Structure 1
């Protein structure tokens, strides 16, 4: 039985199944195996790991362990508590109408970020005018119906992660900042910061940036420099806003000081840095990449809750969940009827009752006629049991989001 133990209880001879450190960006450390030396334990501690998962059937046990199912139950309880908070955003436009506009904005923004990176690589200055324009377009789309841009954030290709991540982070920060009632100028600056947060990666050698295998400690040290590069590039950009710079510069800082580039702690990290850190981790761990199979959205939210306090701001995590829902757009959920459906819209009154696109029946193990189900309607007569992994049923959710 797999258990979670505090890092202080890790001993030589234990079998690690998960370092539980996906809050570390570009993390692809070896996750499994017998701990053979005290040096290995010290290395894991230096990563900022506070809790780790072991398998006592393959190595030594620990009296401090919590069974993994108990950990999941605790995280589920915390998630449902967050689900009791009323949602923040109400759509003002129909989803199908806004999707047409959102697709154009999404495509234009990806192209813009790609062009900006090439300009930086060639030594050109960043022209902020088109950045401001598209950041404004993203904000306007989110105001009309946040579910449209959120849907597009789940329709992604792992080989285009860098560009899609920048766009999706700006969408998440737009949704998050609006829910936190940030003034329009503040919201706009943080969205621009999210769009440009990884601009420094263009100065990271391709063989490291696109390496499919594990990074060596030396390579990871080079990778981490992208945060400094992003700060320096933006700081030298004429007309850059102070909050834009803060948002981009602090997206890898962590509450316990284990982040980078400055190792800031707690309140020393701006609220915008703490917000973008949450959105950045969520988007990273729920995305498929060359070296990483993404978690489901709901699994990702549970991990945010598990890492709250040590690494992420716990109150801001709750607010983030409040604004994207405990079943975020793109989640595959199992209903009491045995049917499966993809969440396509949140609910402005109760985030536990979203709008779902039904397409499969688990009892008959077969696809069924696609239909849309609004769980708030009296005739819905169905409820969500839990979120499930699309891979279990070999369902490509992207087909039902577009």
Structure 2
């Protein structure tokens, strides 16, 4: 049986499962295996981990644990309660029309972030003019229809994570910031901070930054320095806004003080840093990497709820879920009819009734003609049963998002 236990109950001889995803924000990979000595337990504790998933069929049991399926059920119940709250309303242009602009903005963003990192590597100063222009374009697209950029955020390549993560974080912060009512200037500054939040990684040695396996504790300490490097680089950049610097500098800080680079706690972390932490973790755990299979968007939201309070701001997590929707763009869902669909657009009036693109029938186990179905349209009888894992059906959601 898979159980979740408090860290204090972890003992030598227990077997860690690959469900320990709260380690993902630290090193972006799952970890599993036997606990062979006390030193390993001490290292885990220093990472700020509060709970651990163990497999009692492969190692020692603990009376202090709760079955993983019960934890997931509790997370799902909380997610359902959040979904009952009024969704965040956005003005909408037609997604097909906005997709044209969004694609150009997305490509421009990747190229710009890549060029900036190369310039910093060469010792050049950051020219913020194109960054400000890009932030305005991102903000405009999100105001017209945020689903277009959200779709593109799910169409990603494993080998281009660093650039795509920076772009996607700026998109998520755009959506998040608009939903909480940030002014245009504040929204602009946080978008800039999100675009540049990992600029300090250019000073991380390549053999650590691109290491395909688990980092050693010593390598991880070096990796963590990128947050301080980002702060230093941006704080010395002419024309940068204070909120941009905070957004970038604090995205790895955690409410319980287990984050970095400063180990800030609670209100010591700005609201912009707390928002960036949520968006950064969500994007990291839902992204495919060379050595890490990403969660589904709905699984990612449930994990954010599980980590609320200790690591992440619970009020902001709930707001983040409301603005992305119960089934974020890119989620694969199973309908009562047995058909599978990919969510391509949310619903401002009812998060349980998004727009989906149908492509497969589970009862007949065969593809079906592509069809766009608005589950909120009058007369539609079908409804979502649950989110599902695309790999279970050997489907790639990216093919059906555009």
User: Which category describes the TM-score, using the shorter chain as reference length?
Assistant: over 0.9
User: Deviation at 1:91?
Assistant: 3.5
Map 1:85-234 → 2, pairs under 5 A: 85-234=85-234
Quote the Cα distance in structure 2 between the aligned partners of 1:6 and 1:221. Answer: 24
Question: What is the aligned partner in structure 2 of residue 353 from structure 1?
Answer: 353
Question: What is the aligned partner in structure 1 of residue 66 from structure 2?
Answer: 66
Question: What is the aligned partner in structure 2 of residue 21 from structure 1?
Answer: 22
SS at match of 2:27: coil
User: Deviation at 1:206?
Assistant: 1.1
Find out whether 1:12 has 2:12 as its counterpart: yes
Deviations 1:20-54, CA, capped at 9 Å, x for gaps: 4235332447x222222222211111111111111
Contact residue 165 and residue 283 of structure 2 kept, 8 A: yes
SS at match of 1:239: coil
Contact residue 27 and residue 214 of structure 2 kept, 8 A: no
Question: What is the aligned partner in structure 2 of residue 238 from structure 1?
Answer: 238
Deviations 1:325-345, CA, capped at 9 Å, x for gaps: 110000000001100000000
RMSD, aligned CA: 1.0
Quote the Cα distance in structure 1 between the aligned partners of 2:79 and 2:120. Answer: 41
Quote the Cα distance in structure 1 between the aligned partners of 2:189 and 2:65. Answer: 44
User: Deviation at 1:89?
Assistant: 3.1
Q: Please identify, of 283-292 and 271-280, the stretch whose mean Cα deviation from structure 2 is larger.
A: 283-292
Quote the Cα distance in structure 1 between the aligned partners of 2:83 and 2:29. Answer: 31
Deviations 1:240-283, CA, capped at 9 Å, x for gaps: 10000000000000111110000000111000000000000000
Question: What is the aligned partner in structure 2 of residue 367 from structure 1?
Answer: 367
Question: What is the aligned partner in structure 2 of residue 289 from structure 1?
Answer: 289
Quote the Cα distance in structure 1 between the aligned partners of 2:24 and 2:271. Answer: 18
Q: 5+ residue gaps in structure 1?
A: none
Quote the Cα distance in structure 2 between the aligned partners of 1:130 and 1:326. Answer: 35
Find out whether 1:277 has 2:284 as its counterpart: no
Contact residue 3 and residue 54 of structure 2 kept, 8 A: yes
Contact residue 147 and residue 329 of structure 1 kept, 8 A: yes
Q: Please identify, of 308-317 and 19-28, the stretch whose mean Cα deviation from structure 2 is larger.
A: 19-28
Find out whether 1:299 has 2:299 as its counterpart: yes
Deviations 1:196-227, CA, capped at 9 Å, x for gaps: 00011111111111111111111111111111
Quote the Cα distance in structure 1 between the aligned partners of 2:28 and 2:107. Answer: 28
Contact residue 255 and residue 310 of structure 2 kept, 8 A: yes
Question: What is the aligned partner in structure 1 of residue 337 from structure 2?
Answer: 337
Contact residue 28 and residue 215 of structure 1 kept, 8 A: no
SS at match of 1:25: helix
Quote the Cα distance in structure 2 between the aligned partners of 1:127 and 1:214. Answer: 35
Contact residue 91 and residue 146 of structure 1 kept, 8 A: no
Quote the Cα distance in structure 2 between the aligned partners of 1:362 and 1:281. Answer: 32
User: Deviation at 1:65?
Assistant: 1.2
Work out the number of aligned pairs and report it. 401
Contact residue 21 and residue 285 of structure 2 kept, 8 A: no
User: Deviation at 1:166?
Assistant: 0.5
Quote the Cα distance in structure 2 between the aligned partners of 1:280 and 1:296. Answer: 15
Q: 5+ residue gaps in structure 2?
A: none
Contact residue 25 and residue 281 of structure 1 kept, 8 A: no
Deviations 1:342-379, CA, capped at 9 Å, x for gaps: 00000011111100001100000000011011111122
SS at match of 1:22: helix
Contact residue 253 and residue 269 of structure 1 kept, 8 A: yes
User: Deviation at 1:323?
Assistant: 0.2
Quote the Cα distance in structure 1 between the aligned partners of 2:20 and 2:166. Answer: 26
Quote the Cα distance in structure 2 between the aligned partners of 1:20 and 1:3. Answer: 14
Quote the Cα distance in structure 2 between the aligned partners of 1:400 and 1:28. Answer: 27
Find out whether 1:388 has 2:388 as its counterpart: yes
SS at match of 2:75: helix
Quote the Cα distance in structure 1 between the aligned partners of 2:400 and 2:29. Answer: 31
Quote the Cα distance in structure 1 between the aligned partners of 2:90 and 2:29. Answer: 38
Quote the Cα distance in structure 2 between the aligned partners of 1:137 and 1:33. Answer: 46
SS at match of 1:344: strand
User: Deviation at 1:316?
Assistant: 0.4
Quote the Cα distance in structure 2 between the aligned partners of 1:160 and 1:337. Answer: 37
TM-score normalised by structure 2 residue count:
0.98
TM-score normalised by structure 1 residue count:
0.98
SS at match of 1:76: helix
